[in-house]
Chains A and B, each alone.
Chain A
């Protein structure tokens, strides 16, 4: 278990930063949105990592289980709703990208800025 003690957190950090890199360095708007969902997924992973209790099981009571340890239900509730809210806001972002494509005929940020400057 020693190997895994901090590995989950490191994976969270690396995923978060990969997503962040896509948001700031990529100029394609769809790529930016994919980066944003990677960033979001990293946060989900952090919360769910923290909910784990060593030797515990999913927080669903089973009949006749005595002294059973359960993992923390609260982060699960938060992330459960966050995932569905995430997909709705992602759809909103994609809708805006589609409208931008229709108006500017491109979804590359630098080309949009060039058209705006004209």
Chain B
């Protein structure tokens, strides 16, 4: 049954991707890419990657769709028919597809437990997590503790991208634009989305907090929670107007969150050094090394969540504010 289902989902992925590329209406292409992300998330779930599925659903289907739509509102939603080197591109792409498919015959079979990828560090992570960190979710353990340096780097990449967007879109635009009431007031005049959205927003926020703090025990963590939290506020902004969202969480808070989360993460690393361990070594944070790991992971996940929320909301507001000029 699962085989049939994943076969169907994978085929739908290809169908959707072809439709996205062929369609000239960019609005439809963006909506289709939201569907694509949802299908991809379902695939990830079937492939045992619950954490990744959660992130893809929140980020791909939720936030990236909103960002694309705000960009379309400021540019255009029709792709022009243009002279293009389509034949050459098709030849190149077909040749590369055939070469890559030929190369897949050397890959280890799907799900093979003896594949090289499962022989190296993965068994060590699975065994050591039980003794050294003692939390059920191995993904969180690897993300927060074993590969804490990596994650710190990713947080700073997210931080830098957020700063970049603020610099690019923060500059005053040359051409003033007409203010449209629809954008400043949100969807206030549409009864059904407003009532449903109002009912859902608090629960989405609650779910984000659950995902944040339950990340040690089930699928979840800072990245997912940050994306879900931002999605809830963006939903609120779409329904009630951007101004109300900025009243709830002002811009200065967002900047502070963007920097504060990354700083909290780094501070945990430095605290480990001051207490006599290595950078990002959580074992020294408490008398009991395992308890120290728990404290460390909780704090750095909070840092990740705060930065991701701050960056995603700053980006959204940067796009939304630009629209009004």
Contact = CB atoms under 8 A, between A and B. Distances in A.
B52 to A, nearest CB: 5
A80 B139 contact: yes
Contacts of B50: 58, 60
Contact of B154 (A61, A75, A81): A81
A106 to B, nearest CB: 8
Contacts of A9: 101, 104, 107, 110
Contacts of B180: none
Interface string B133-150: 000111101110001001
Contacts of A97: 71, 75
Nearest to A54: B111
Contacts of B6: 4
Interface string B65-98: 0011011101110011011111001101100110
Nearest to A84: B223
Interface residues of B, number: 110
Contacts of B63: 87
Contact of B48 (A25, A52, A98, A103): A52
Nearest to A14: B14
B40 A71 contact: no
Interface of A: 1, 3-11, 13-22, 24-28, 30-31, 34-35, 37-38, 41, 44-45, 48-62, 69-77, 79-81, 83-92, 94-99, 101-103, 107-108, 110
Given A18-B17, A24-B85, A84-B59, 9 more contacts: A6-B104, A17-B97, A24-B92, A69-B113, A70-B126, A88-B161, A94-B67, A107-B76, A108-B80
5 contacts: A6-B105, A18-B18, A31-B21, A70-B126, A87-B59
